[in-house]
A and B are shown apart, each in its own frame.
Chain A
Amino acid sequence: MKMTKIYEGAHQWVMFGRDENKPDNIIDSNQYIVRTANKCLLLEPGGTELFAPMMAAVLHHAPVDQITDLFASHQDPDVISSLGLWDQALSNAKLHAPALWEGYIRNFGCESIEYVPIPDNGETIKIESVELQIIPAHYLHSPCNFHVYDPQAKILMCGSVGSAFEAANAPVFVERFDVHVEKMRAYHQRMMPSNQAKRAWIDRVRNLDIDILAPQHGRMFKGDDVKRFLDWFDSLQVGTGV
C-alpha cells in the first residue's frame, strides 16, 4: 500500500492507495487519514478485501486506540464494506456517514462503532482543533453523498468526483491533465446521473479555496489542475447511460 503525505501542518493528511497486492478483480481505491496530535480520522475506509493492508498502513501513522473517527461519503462497498472489521478492531470510534444510508451501511456490521448520521445539508466535524466541512454532493454519484473540505489544508476529499482507474504503479497526482481526461470521461458520464446536481456542486466548490482535489479512485489534482478539472466537469454532459 502506497502512502503519500499530502499536507503537513499542525495536522497531517496522508493518502493511501495503489495496493500492489490487491486481487485483480477488485477496483483500486484511495483512502485518506487526517491525523491530529491524539486522534485520527479515516476517510473512505475501503472494502473488506482492503482492510488488512489499510489497517497495517495506518499503523505507521497512528496507534489503534487513536483511530477515533471514520467517514464514508456514501454506501458503496468499496467505500465502507470493511466497517464490520473496523467495528471489531476499534473500541471507541464514530462513523460519520449519510443519515439516509444508516440502515443500509449497518448491514456491513456496526455494533460498537457509533453511527453519527450526517444530515442532508451537511455539517462540521471537529477532530481536536481541526474543523472539517462536510459538503453535500448528492447524486455525485450516490443519491445521498458528501465530500470533506479542510479549509486549513485546502484539501477537498471529493469522493467519486474526479475518479479514474489506474495501474498500481501510476503516480498519485495528475501530471498531464489533457491525457488524464480520457481516463475519467466514461466514468463520469455513466456514474454521475444529473447535470443539475453537477452544476450545483460546481457552484458550491468554486467558492472554496482548494489546493488539492482528492478523489476516491485514481490520481489527485493540485494547483491549476483543480480549476482545469472543474471547467472540464462543468462542460461534460453526464447521465448518458440511458
Chain B
Amino acid sequence: MNSQTKSQFIAVASITSELSAVMVVAKEISLAAANAKAIAFRAGDKAKGFQPITDFINELAKETIELVTNINVYALLLYRLTVNEYRRTAAYNRFEQVAKLATGASYADSMQEPISHAKTMMQDCQRQFKRDVTQLLGQLEAVMHHARAARVIAANSRIEASQAGEYLQSLQAVAESVDKAAHTIHDNVQRCRIALSIYRNS
C-alpha cells in the first residue's frame, strides 16, 4: 500500500472518529436545552426571553444529530469506495506486472483486455471518490453552519441570562455549555474538512 492510499484510508477513517465525538457533543447540547427549559420554566417571567431560545437550542441539536447521522452513512460508503479503489489499483498494478513477465508467451496479448478493464475501473473509482468527497465536504459545511449558529445563540443566551435574577448563574452555565459544545463541533468538523480537502474535485 503506498503512502497516498494510506493517507486516504486514514482521512476517511478519521471522519467517523471525529463525527462520533460531534454526536456526543450534540447530544450534550440537547440535554443542556432540556435543562435550560426547566430552569426557564421555574424562573417564570424573569427568564421569559430565555424560553424560546431553549427551543431553538434543542432544534439545532436535533438537526446536528440528524446531519451527522447522515454523514456517517456517507462516510461508510466513502470507506467502501476507498477499499474498492485500493483493490482495483492493486489489480491493475499486478496485471501490468503480468504483462511484463509474460513477454514472449503465446497468449500474452490476451492480457490486454483485463488490463484495460482494470484501468477503467480504477479510474472510475478515483473519479467517484473525488465526487463523493466534494459532496461530503458540502455536508460538513452544513454542520459548521449549525455550530456557528449555536455560538450566536450562546451569546444571546448570556444576554437573556443576565435578566434572570437569582437564575443568572444557572442560565449562564447553560449558555457556557452550548458555547463550548459549539466550539468542539466546529473544531472536529474543521479537522475532517482539512483531512478531506486534498481529495476534492478541483
Contact = CB atoms under 8 A, between A and B. Distances in A.
Contacts of B1: none
Contact of B91 (A53, A56, A62, A84): A84
Q: Sorted from nearest, which 8 A-B pairs have the closest CB atoms?
A: A56-B101, A63-B110, A56-B102, A63-B107, A52-B97, A59-B105, A88-B91, A64-B110
A55 B102 contact: yes
Interface residues of A, number: 19
A85 interface: yes
Interface residues of B, number: 21
A89 B105 contact: no
Given A64-B113, A84-B87, A88-B114, A59 B106 contact: yes
A109 interface: yes
B149 to A, nearest CB: 45
Contacts of B114: 64, 88-90
Contacts of A52: 94, 97-98, 101
A59 B107 contact: yes
Contacts of B73: none
Contact of B106 (A60, A85, A109): A60
Interface of A: 51-53, 55-57, 59-65, 84-85, 88-90, 109
Contacts of A88: 87-88, 91, 95, 114, 117-118, 121
A53 B94 CA distance: 10
Interface string B77-94: 000000000011011001
A51 B111 contact: no
Interface in B116-156: 117-118, 121
Contacts of A84: 87, 91
Given A59-B105, A60-B105, A88-B121, 20 more contacts: A51-B94, A52-B98, A55-B94, A55-B98, A55-B102, A55-B111, A56-B101, A59-B98, A59-B108, A59-B110, A59-B111, A61-B107, A62-B107, A63-B110, A64-B110, A64-B113, A64-B114, A88-B88, A88-B117, A89-B95
